């Protein structure tokens, strides 16, 4: 008998808020976190905008000496985990820490540390490279540091599947608990890619929006004027628990994860399958895993990156999976406000689904002023919508053809399929 898995806590460090209240108020208020890049000089860059985390001080969450030994992406993860644990009301002294683990996703890991230490190497020689360069830079260190900081001795893994990383992380954590191998899992994603080299690489690919003179309007999924995604940073971490474990401690259960699907396009290193086949598979498999008919879904948090091809193909895939019901679905892309957190996007968007279910409010897709005729579904344009959401899904699709879909449901002790 499979165990049931519930969400009991959420912690956020994002461009639209570094606490859960601000995050939700800004998302549902249609507030964009996009602005000019402040972290480095953008002279010569085609894209000069990003969705940066504001007013983050690692020392508010982590010992100063320890924080200096962490890349920014790891600092975000440890901070978000602390907030998630507090939000869950989870007393670490009272849980079995051998049955508590961590699975986080990150697409690029400690790229800021890599760039800084490469500069040291080139300018000052190999003897001046930091002795903590490697453990600061490697992508698994966010999971490792979270486990160290919270004393969690169970399964500890990092998933790296580009923009699907944290959706895969959550799916894997869900399965660990479902199989009975853990009582508690810390899961989600973290990313800090607003660096000179990373942004230059995306600029060279012509993947980023160049709407530099109007940053808050740059991320516009499903709109005719979309011209690329807006790079973003941050971390969102969720506390997942086995249902009986959560009920026994009288936890405040936010929602339940009931399904997970993962697939690959097996088509191209960056371009999506032109038939949307991989996205179709991940959605279908997630619904099958949850034991749900497509007609049961009320809301989709779309991958919706604001790229000309991606938004159109996601629309095509939704129509293929949901048929006539696609026209009844509320769909939104919160990337229109947050930008694209790359490997952390799936964690953020799973949290959005849980909150939409909990609060009966769907965040909008902002900047949707001239819908693309090929994107002809209900994308909740510009204004949040009150709605009774019992079942939501979230999609995450990444370079390399990685696709992941999660099903999130309103929690009831007696689940009716």
**pLDDT tens-digit profile of 116-172?**
999 999 999 999 999 999 999 999 999 999 999 999 999 999 999 999 999 999 999
- Answer whether residue 416 shows pLDDT above 90: no
pLDDT for 105: 98
**pLDDT tens-digit profile of 168-226?**
999 999 999 999 999 999 999 999 999 999 999 999 999 999 999 999 999 999 999 99
Please state whether beta strands 35-36 and 255-264 pair in parallel, antiparallel, or not at all (unpaired): unpaired
Catalytically annotated residue among 155, 163, 203, 353: 163
- pTM exceeding the 0.85 threshold for the entire prediction: yes
Q: With cut-offs at 50, 70 and 90, classify the pLDDT of residue 417.
A: low
What contacts 24+ positions apart, CB below 8 Å, involve 66-72? 69/132, 69/135, 69/136, 70/136, 70/141, 70/145, 71/109, 71/110, 71/112, 71/113, 71/136, 71/137, 71/141, 71/192, 72/110, 72/112, 72/192, 72/233
Question: What is the phi-psi region of residue 387: left when phi exceeds 0, alpha when psi lies from -120 to 50, beta otherwise?
Answer: beta
**pLDDT tens-digit profile of 340-378?**
999 999 999 999 999 999 999 999 999 999 999 999 999
Catalytically annotated residue among 340, 353, 375, 402: 340
Percent of the chain exceeding pLDDT 90 equals 98
The reply to whether 203 belongs to the active site is: no
**pLDDT tens-digit profile of 40-71?**
999 999 999 999 999 999 999 999 999 999 99
CATH 3.40.47.10 residue ranges for the chain: 5-248, 260-409
**pLDDT tens-digit profile of 1-42?**
799 999 999 999 999 999 999 999 999 999 999 999 999 999
Give the CATH class of 5-248.
alpha beta
pLDDT for 1: 79
Q: With cut-offs at 50, 70 and 90, classify the pLDDT of residue 79.
A: very high
The reply to whether 303 belongs to the active site is: yes
pLDDT for 415: 82
The reply to whether 268 belongs to the active site is: no
- Answer whether residue 331 shows pLDDT above 80: yes
**pLDDT tens-digit profile of 210-238?**
999 999 999 999 999 999 999 999 999 99
| End-to-end C-alpha distance for the chain, whole angstroms | 16
**How is the beta sheet containing 234-242 ordered, strand by strand?**
156-159, 100-105, 184-191, 234-242, 5-13, 255-264, 402-409, 391-398, 299-301, 330-332
CATH of 260-409, one of 3.30.70.20, 3.40.47.10, 3.90.1410.10, 3.40.50.800: 3.40.47.10
Catalytically annotated residue among 303, 353, 375, 402: 303
Q: Which two tokens stand for residue 397?
A: 């699709």
pLDDT for 84: 98
- Answer whether residue 97 shows pLDDT above 70: yes
pLDDT for 309: 95
pLDDT for 257: 98
């Amino acid at each position: 008998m499979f165990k049931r898995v519930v969400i009991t806590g959420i912690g956020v460090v994002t461009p639209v808020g570094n606490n859960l209240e601000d995050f939700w108020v800004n998302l549902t208020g249609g507030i964009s976190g996009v602005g000019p890049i402040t972290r480095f000089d953008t002279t010569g860059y085609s894209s000069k905008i990003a969705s940066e985390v504001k007013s983050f001080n690692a020392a508010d969450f982590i010992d100063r000496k320890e924080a200096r030994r962490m890349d920014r992406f790891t600092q975000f993860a440890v901070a978000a985990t602390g907030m998630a644990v507090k939000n869950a009301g989870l007393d670490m002294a009272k849980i079995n820490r051998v049955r508590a683990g961590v699975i986080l996703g990150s697409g690029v890991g400690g790229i800021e540390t890599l760039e800084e230490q490469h500069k040291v190497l080139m300018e000052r020689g190999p003897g001046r490279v930091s002795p903590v360069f490697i453990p600061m830079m490697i992508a698994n260190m966010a999971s490792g540091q979270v486990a160290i900081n919270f004393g969690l001795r169970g399964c500890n893994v990092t998933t790296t599947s580009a923009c699907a990383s944290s959706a895969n992380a959550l799916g894997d954590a869900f399965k660990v608990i479902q199989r009975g191998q853990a009582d508690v899992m810390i899961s989600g994603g973290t990313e800090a890619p607003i660096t000179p080299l990373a942004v230059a690489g995306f600029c060279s690919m012509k993947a980023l929006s160049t709407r530099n003179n109007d940053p808050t309007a740059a991320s516009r999924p499903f709109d005719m004027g979309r011209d690329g995604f807006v790079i973003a940073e941050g971390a969102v971490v969720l506390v997942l628990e086995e249902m009986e474990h959560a009920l026994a401690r009288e936890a405040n259960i936010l929602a339940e994860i009931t399904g997970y699907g993962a697939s690959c396009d097996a088509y191209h290193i960056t371009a999506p399958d032109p038939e949307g086949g991989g996205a179709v598979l991940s959605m279908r498999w997630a619904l099958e895993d949850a034991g749900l008919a497509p007609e049961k879904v009320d809301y989709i948090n779309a991958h919706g990156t604001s790229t000309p091809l991606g938004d159109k193909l996601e629309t095509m895939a939704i129509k293929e999976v949901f048929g006539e019901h696609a026209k009844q679905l509320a769909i939104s892309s919160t990337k229109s406000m947050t930008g694209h957190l790359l490997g952390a996007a799936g964690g953020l968007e799973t949290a959005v689904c849980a909150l939409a279910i909990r609060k009966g409010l769907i965040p909008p897709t902002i900047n949707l002023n001239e819908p693309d005729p090929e994107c002809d579904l209900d994308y909740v344009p510009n204004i949040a919508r009150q709605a009774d959401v019992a079942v939501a899904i979230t999609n995450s699709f990444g370079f390399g053809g990685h696709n992941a879909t999660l099903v999130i449901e309103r929690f009831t002790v007696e689940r009716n399929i």
